[in-house]
Structure 1
Amino acid sequence: MEYSVNTRPLLQQSESESDFEERDGRESGGTLDDPVVVTKDTRPLFKVQEPKDRYNLAYIIFYLLGMTTLLPWYFFVTADDYWMYKLRNLSGNYTVVGDGGRSELQASFTAYLSVASTIPNTLFLILNSLLSHKISLRIRMVGSLSTIIILFVVTTALVKIDTDSWQQIFFIVTLVIVVLLNIASAILQGGLFGLVGKFSARYITAVVSGQALGGIFAALASILSLCLGASATTSAFVYFMVANAMLLLALTAYLILTRAMFFQYHLLDKSEGNTLHYEPGSIQSSSYGPSVRNISYMGILSKIWTYGFSEWLTFFITLAMYPSITVLVCSTYKGNKVAWNDVYFVPVVGYLIFSTFDYVGRMLAGFLHWPRGRGWLLLLLSAFRVVFVPLILLCNAQPRHHLPVVIHSDVLYILIIVLFGLTNGYLANITLICVPRVVDATEQEVASSMMAAFLGVGLACGSALGLGMVKIL
């Protein structure tokens, strides 16, 4: 659209003087020196006012989606007794887990589960950061959530099927499901972090806090099953049914969220020269589909590498100790026939307390926002967490063959776990909050997806180191 813009100052002359001069100029046949510039105005005619998050609906849904990203891992780990029952030694008692010693399948399952989870998750988090702008966000989010639901339904059905006559096949099928689950979870997590990077820090906090809340939920479920004395198959069936319900709720909630004006506004392409497109009742955003913009990965990486390395280092140190070592730390009073020392100490301290303070740390980062814009300082703080490695190794982790037990106090160990979880949650969240602020608006989705890749690689490297740490004890 072209406009004729009169550039004469409005108060240069009075209106009557201007009229007489223009009339005289026309009557005398002369030309009037009136500078008129023809321009093409590419700006939107009206500035769009940011919609409100009515009833905090988007915040709640992002919380739920955050829980969903790690739900497969939490529920598979929590159902350890179920896997041991399914893979038990059939030459002995059919109802007692591990009777007469672990079978070969039981002994190798945890190691295979770790490999089947970590490798595809890390690989697809990296691929997601490289290819996310070429695939529609809607396809990635809805497709990955739907895939996870289908795989969990299959897993739930297998609980009620007698697999004793085909244990080996069940073992392979389960690992295939784990691989596919982690591929879908990586796509979901990468897409979610890329999506929430377009929103304010409050919504980033909702996602990462939701992840920690998933750990609390799984720990409480484990403790509750211990209190009720439920069988391995009953507990697993309840776990997986709850997971199915939460996953279905997350998918439904996400589809509702995409129709909200608040959500669509934040997905608008806000790069210079782009305009806003409207349809009745909604804002259409080209960024919700595949982007055709050229992405400079090295340019983005040069801006966020300190934050990414900090995220990697935080989870590398955490996973080196948790849960491979923390699950081995038992009460120094174990064996005195007190339920707290013999039954509840590890699930409460090693899982529930860690997850709770991990959650508190993530929430705290959402309020403090410190240090803001100082990637090198975040990296330094993450490096300081290496002190937790010798501290936890010197606690009462059993069995041990090389290192002595130096920290005998249960209270001191609990304090170490509190600080360990608190610092992990705080640094994990604050780095993700800072990244969208150090890149351009058009780079936020890719930058946040890269941070998810750093997180995934940190988990993988930490898990691998954790296996070696067990040998050091």
Structure 2
Amino acid sequence: MYKFRNVSLNTSTLNATVKRTPLQTEFTSYLSVASSIPNLIFLALNTAISHRISLNTRVLGSLAFMLLLMLQTVIFINLNTDQWQQLFFGITLAVIVLLNVCSAIFSGSIFGVVGKFSPIYITAVIGGQALGGVFAALAEIVSLFIGASSTHAALVYFAIGNVTIIISIICYVVLVKSVFFKYHLLEQQDFGEFDNKSASLNISSKVIVKKMWCHGLSVLITFTVTLSVYPGVTVLIESEGKGHGNRWNDVFFVPTINYLLFNIGDYLGRLLAGRLLKPKSLTVLMILSTARFIFIPLLLLCNVQLKHSWDVVFDKDYQYILILFIFALSNGYLANIVAIHVPRVVDHHEKEIASSIMTVFMGVGLTLGSAISLLIVKIINR
């Protein structure tokens, strides 16, 4: 918001009365597209190269490169980019692309490995993914709460991100040395000789896809719906009380509701799926995933800024909060229940590849949803 403000007005964009610039309005949607496309490509590549490059190289290499990119982001915080906003916009998107290349390799590797463990560990990793969103939202709120300038608040926020990556590297090094981790990895390696030949691997992948394509389609639909409106559209939904000088409505509403509440709902949904382990029926899963399309018009009928074509139906904050929470809860629940069921429909030696393929289906959903989101934002911003 600060970097892409209208510099000619000589005022902070956090002021509720200042109209957003096109870069401010569309940045989140462009961010989603720049994230999802490289994420999809490298999730697919990771599935292909997972048996040619060691797990440690993929995980530690991706984390180390992510740390370098995040350090570069910290440097840009204190650079005055007012006179070259378009260039900074392009550089930022390029960094996002590279970050998501690393993220895809990292997450694809982790999800592939966790497929060898029992469902409780799958829930832990899936839940951790959502909990990371909660942590990031809290970091953003803290950076705003300190009341410093936009640049100082951003410095705190991205410094927390860098520290988190360093902690992740340390945790992974400790993890791979544990007897428990080595046992499950070695146990899996005892099954089958197909890992050694790429031809056998290709045949196995086709067989695996035939066994789990319905699960993959379900998660694809789930993430397509979610990314169609979150966060590109939901970040534009404002509080009913914005513009009256209340910091909750003007400053904290979007980060607290759009990011923190969503990620809490997503996290709770994933935990709930790990406990209930239902539905097991593929038909029910597909119906539930498809039914979530109703959330797209529901959220568009909330208090979306810049909307000109239709009236606001859900103009109260509590209505938007309820819709968003159910939206997040269903996303987390369906994402985890599918991830739990997939290792059960394939043979033991196919679990790692099956889990990696699931991340590809997820990446396709993220990409489609991001493209739809950008289209929606451009339409309502006319």
TM-score w.r.t. the length of structure 2 is 0.88
Which of 242, 263, 271 is the matching residue for 1:355? 263
Task: Please state if 1:142 is matched with 2:60.
Answer: yes
Partners of 1:341 and 1:366 in 2: CA distance: 35
Which residue of structure 2 lines up, in the alignment, with residue 28 of structure 1? none
Deviation at 1:205, TM superposition (A): 1.1
Which residue of structure 2 lines up, in the alignment, with residue 438 of structure 1? 345
Q: Give the letter aligned to residue 364 of structure 1.
A: L
Cα distance change on mapping 1:234 and 1:343 into 2, 3 Å: closer
Partners of 2:229 and 2:329 in 1: CA distance: 15
Deviations 1:203-259 (A, max 9, x none): 111111112112212222222333322212111211221111111111111111111
Which residue of structure 1 lines up, in the alignment, with residue 250 of structure 2? 342
Partners of 2:239 and 2:13 in 1: CA distance: 24
Cα distance change on mapping 1:337 and 1:109 into 2, 3 Å: closer
Task: Please state if 1:122 is matched with 2:40.
Answer: yes
Deviation at 1:156, TM superposition (A): 1.9
Task: Please state if 1:305 is matched with 2:213.
Answer: yes
Partners of 1:469 and 1:407 in 2: CA distance: 18
Cα distance change on mapping 1:236 and 1:429 into 2, 3 Å: same
Q: Give the letter aligned to residue 324 of structure 2.
A: I
Q: Give the letter aligned to residue 258 of structure 1.
A: V
Partners of 1:401 and 1:171 in 2: CA distance: 27
Question: Residue 47 of structure 2: SS of its match in structure 1?
Answer: helix
In the alignment, is the contact (CA less than 8 A) between 2:236 and 2:304 conserved in 1?
yes
In the alignment, is the contact (CA less than 8 A) between 1:84 and 1:98 conserved in 2?
no
Q: RMSD value over aligned CA atoms?
A: 2.9
Structure 1 stretch displaced more, 360-369 or 100-109: 100-109
Deviation at 1:461, TM superposition (A): 0.7
Task: Please state if 1:387 is matched with 2:294.
Answer: yes
Deviation at 1:172, TM superposition (A): 4.3
Task: Please state if 1:455 is matched with 2:362.
Answer: yes
Deviation at 1:448, TM superposition (A): 0.6
Deviation at 1:158, TM superposition (A): 3.1
Deviation at 1:340, TM superposition (A): 3.3
Partners of 1:106 and 1:342 in 2: CA distance: 16
In the alignment, is the contact (CA less than 8 A) between 1:402 and 1:472 conserved in 2?
no
Greater helix percent: which structure?
2
Which residue of structure 2 lines up, in the alignment, with residue 417 of structure 1? 324
Unaligned runs of 5+ in 1: 1-79, 275-285
Which residue of structure 2 lines up, in the alignment, with residue 65 of structure 1? none
Deviation at 1:160, TM superposition (A): 3.9
Partners of 2:311 and 2:247 in 1: CA distance: 26
Which residue of structure 2 lines up, in the alignment, with residue 377 of structure 1? 284
Task: Please state if 1:182 is matched with 2:89.
Answer: no
Q: Give the alignment of 1:151-162 within 5 angstroms.
A: 151-162=69-80
Cα distance change on mapping 1:322 and 1:167 into 2, 3 Å: closer
Deviations 1:370-412 (A, max 9, x none): 123x333212211111221222222222322222222233322
Structure ranking higher on relative contact order (CA contacts 8 Å, 6+ apart): 2
Partners of 1:103 and 1:472 in 2: CA distance: 15
In the alignment, is the contact (CA less than 8 A) between 1:325 and 1:466 conserved in 2?
yes
Question: Residue 303 of structure 2: SS of its match in structure 1?
Answer: coil
Cα distance change on mapping 1:109 and 1:356 into 2, 3 Å: closer
Cα distance change on mapping 1:208 and 1:122 into 2, 3 Å: same
Q: Give the letter aligned to residue 434 of structure 1.
A: H
Which residue of structure 1 lines up, in the alignment, with residue 308 of structure 2? 401
Matched residue count: 375
Partners of 2:23 and 2:308 in 1: CA distance: 26
Which residue of structure 1 lines up, in the alignment, with residue 240 of structure 2? 332
Which of 99, 110, 115 is the matching residue for 1:197? 115
Which of 200, 208, 222 is the matching residue for 2:126? 208
Which of 242, 253, 256 is the matching residue for 2:160? 242
Structure 1 stretch displaced more, 291-300 or 239-248: 291-300
Cα distance change on mapping 1:92 and 1:469 into 2, 3 Å: closer
TM-score w.r.t. the length of structure 1 is 0.72
Cα distance change on mapping 1:116 and 1:330 into 2, 3 Å: closer
Q: Give the alignment of 1:257-296 within 5 angstroms.
A: 257-270=175-188, 291-292=196-197, 294-295=200-201, 296=204
Partners of 1:371 and 1:299 in 2: CA distance: 24
In the alignment, is the contact (CA less than 8 A) between 1:133 and 1:446 conserved in 2?
no
In the alignment, is the contact (CA less than 8 A) between 2:228 and 2:370 conserved in 1?
yes
In the alignment, is the contact (CA less than 8 A) between 1:124 and 1:183 conserved in 2?
yes
In the alignment, is the contact (CA less than 8 A) between 2:234 and 2:258 conserved in 1?
yes
Partners of 1:300 and 1:383 in 2: CA distance: 23
Percent same amino acid among aligned pairs?
A: 49
Question: Residue 268 of structure 1: SS of its match in structure 2?
Answer: helix
Partners of 2:162 and 2:343 in 1: CA distance: 33
Deviations 1:271-321 (A, max 9, x none): 7777xxxxxxxxxxx99xx74472222211011111111111111111112
Partners of 1:455 and 1:140 in 2: CA distance: 20
Deviation at 1:463, TM superposition (A): 1.3
In the alignment, is the contact (CA less than 8 A) between 1:122 and 1:456 conserved in 2?
yes
